[in-house]
């Protein structure tokens, strides 16, 4: 057996700790968030990874803030890149020594949803509802990957093998984004209809918003406008050629008009989610429907909205009873009147990750620089969470084994 495993554990609202944890095996054990029907589930189709990089995600931050029903003791982390050190009995095509990217979606590859490439809502990997992920509330109880070692089920289907390990390690700060935020931002733009010559408004300049902005440029957008409240994040968006608006200064529509000469865009992406704040004087208040309503307002008739920002069915910290169960005051009449198309839900990472990998390997997609990838040791994860919560314009990459060079 390899050396001791350690992981980042959610201890309750506002607190994570790095603790010794069980070394992974090919069977699901009882634990925080594990559905009773999954206890004892065998996963001989899986592999065990030595984690090379694993990232802190804004979705993790929602849990750590206490804004979900996540159970205490949950090992966090769904953005995983690692080296295969052991493979299960039923694995055929992934080998020990392979360096792989792992989609945050856990998908069986066998159910109707997976066969139709809707891997974000796999029907078999989570007994509670469609869709599973590592280390995440209501997502099946699979152990998270902010750890030294992790088990990845259905490895032949889920793992994306990098063709050249040395080349991959040289670009690891870009390739680590393939597990989630690069495909997620790209998916937000694709579903919003971003293509050559379009104008795009992206709400939110956190890592997913920055990844979406970068993806919009990759897709050929004529103008990419990013809105946020935090100056440091807006500065990061400008660093790779985006226009920016500070939504604390007023309605995005007015600022969009100053940039484009008209108060609307072709496409819009919500990279904020359910902890949205108001605009203008209301920017200090949480108003969870603000972004969705704003995007309908600024998107042209017959336009499309990509909504990769997270919305939940259980939010104990919400401002009212309706929002606590995910019911928001959305102006659906406005969206209907303008014939908008909405696309929501988890990004099906496998639709995009191979092509985006090739773009990275062929020097077409320096996504790590766009999101300001910042490497920290696993032991510094609690500080990383605190800095991220304060709005740092960084994508924190945990380095559990010191394999990423300084």
How many of the other CB atoms lie within 10 Å of CB of 340? 19
Catalogue all structural domains in the chain, each as residue range(s) with its CATH number.
5-180+348-398 (3.90.180.10), 185-344 (3.40.50.720)
Q: Which residue has the tokens 């994570």?
A: 16
DSSP 179: G
Distances (CA, A) of 22 to 106, 136, 152: 20, 18, 15
Predicted structure pTM score: 0.96
**Distance, CA of 378 to CA of 382 (rounded, Å):** 9
398: three-class secondary structure by DSSP: strand
**Distance, CA of 271 to CA of 209 (rounded, Å):** 5
Distances (CA, A) of 191 to 122, 264, 358: 20, 18, 21
pLDDT tens-digit map of 139-183 = 999 999 999 999 999 999 999 999 999 999 999 999 999 999 999
pLDDT tens-digit map of 24-77 = 999 999 999 898 999 999 999 999 999 999 999 999 999 999 999 999 999 999
Using an 8 Å Cβ cutoff, are 308 and 270 in contact? yes
Work out the angle at residue 99's Cα, subtended by the Cα atoms of residues 95 and 104, and round it to the nearest 5 degrees: 105
pLDDT tens-digit map of 66-104 = 999 999 999 999 999 999 999 999 999 999 999 999 999
């Amino acid at each position: 057996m390899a050396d001791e495993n350690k992981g980042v554990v959610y201890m309750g609202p506002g607190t994570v700790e790095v603790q010794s944890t069980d070394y992974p095996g090919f069977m699901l054990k009882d634990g925080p968030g594990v559905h009773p029907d999954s206890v004892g589930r065998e996963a001989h189709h899986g592999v065990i990874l030595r984690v090379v990089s694993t990232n802190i995600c804004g979705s993790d931050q929602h849990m750590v803030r206490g804004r979900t029903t996540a159970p205490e003791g949950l090992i966090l982390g769904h953005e995983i890149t690692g080296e295969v050190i052991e493979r299960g009995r039923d694995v055929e095509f992934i080998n020990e020594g392979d360096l792989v990217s792992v989609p945050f979606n856990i998908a069986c590859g066998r159910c109707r949803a997976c066969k139709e490439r809707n891997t974000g809502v796999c029907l078999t990997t989570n007994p509670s509802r469609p869709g599973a992920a590592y280390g995440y509330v209501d997502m099946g109880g699979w152990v998270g990957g902010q750890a030294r070692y992790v088990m990845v089920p259905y490895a032949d289907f889920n793992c994306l093998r990098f063709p050249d390990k040395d080349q991959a390690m040289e670009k690891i700060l870009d390739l680590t984004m393939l597990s989630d935020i690069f495909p997620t931002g790209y998916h937000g733009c694709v579903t919003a209809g971003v293509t050559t010559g379009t104008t795009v408004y992206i709400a939110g300049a956190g890592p997913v918003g920055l990844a979406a902005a970068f993806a919009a440029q990759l897709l050929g957008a004529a103008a990419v406008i990013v809105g946020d409240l935090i100056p440091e994040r807006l500065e990061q968006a400008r660093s790779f050629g985006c226009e920016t608006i500070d939504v604390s200064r007023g309605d995005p529509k007015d600022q969009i008009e100053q940039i484009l000469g008209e108060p609307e865009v072709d496409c819009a992406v919500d990279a904020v989610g359910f902890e949205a704040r108001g605009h203008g004087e209301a920017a200090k208040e949480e108003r969870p429907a603000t972004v969705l309503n704003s995007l309908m307002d600024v998107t042209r008739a017959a336009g499309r909205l990509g909504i990769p920002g997270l919305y939940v069915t259980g939010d104990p910290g919400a401002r009212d009873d309706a929002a606590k169960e995910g019911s928001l005051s959305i102006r659906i009449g406005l969206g209907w009147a303008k014939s908008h198309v909405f696309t929501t839900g988890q990004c099906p990472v496998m639709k995009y990750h191979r092509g985006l990998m090739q773009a990275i390997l062929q020097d077409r997609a320096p996504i790590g620089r766009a999101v300001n990838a910042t490497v920290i040791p696993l032991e510094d994860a609690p500080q990383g969470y605190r800095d991220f919560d304060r709005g740092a314009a960084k994508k924190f990459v945990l380095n559990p084994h010191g394999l990423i060079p300084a």
